[in-house]
Structure 1
């Protein structure tokens, strides 16, 4: 399925950039929040990876499937391990989707759309929050950041 293959490749270029971005943080940055009610660095990263998995599972199951509960992390290395595991799982789940699942209309927070459209919304969600994480990085003083998509 050429459309799905292109989607996965584009999504992975953003996910790899997320991993590169996380590598710029230090352990003491993981609890940083730009304001009291914001997500911390680690919470935002886990929200990104968990939500993308949720979008894929919702398309796969044909009905809203909530994300797994977020894990607490203490180190950047722990966070990177979680990201990699969730990336591997999400990629495998994406690659298992059928044309019927991509075309089937699913309901998501009061909206009805084909599965492929929901996946595109999920990728947009990931990109949006990754942009926030770039801002967090600047706010904690990180000067050298990766490109917004992976070039590797």
Structure 2
């Protein structure tokens, strides 16, 4: 299960809406081994495409060096789909290289990208390991402190 703070959830959705009609992408880093997505890093979609996303290789290298220096890892890797459901494409599955990460997809199709849109947003999370996709529950909390003490 992905547990994510409301502020981070809202920021991912806002990024997806802002970059529409192109796919948005980014990473949410967290302390190694914590499974807590705490530091949002919106990235530039180097492909600048409505059907494909690609991290800029230089930006990605800098991010990984920064995470390493801060003892962080990519907890969430997210991107948006602008015209289809929030489900990993074959390309998304082939590019998934972080077996410990939650792969989040947000769909901005059918008007969900508009500022005036007040309907539910399709926000889904997956584990992708060795080409196998497994959807997982998403739990949005006000803060991680709310979940302390739960097992």
Larger strand percent: 2
TM-score, L = length of structure 1? 0.24
Structure showing greater Rg = 1
User: As a proportion of its length, which structure holds more helix?
Assistant: 1
> Which gives a bigger RCO, structure 1 or 2 (Cα 8 Å, sep 6+)?
1
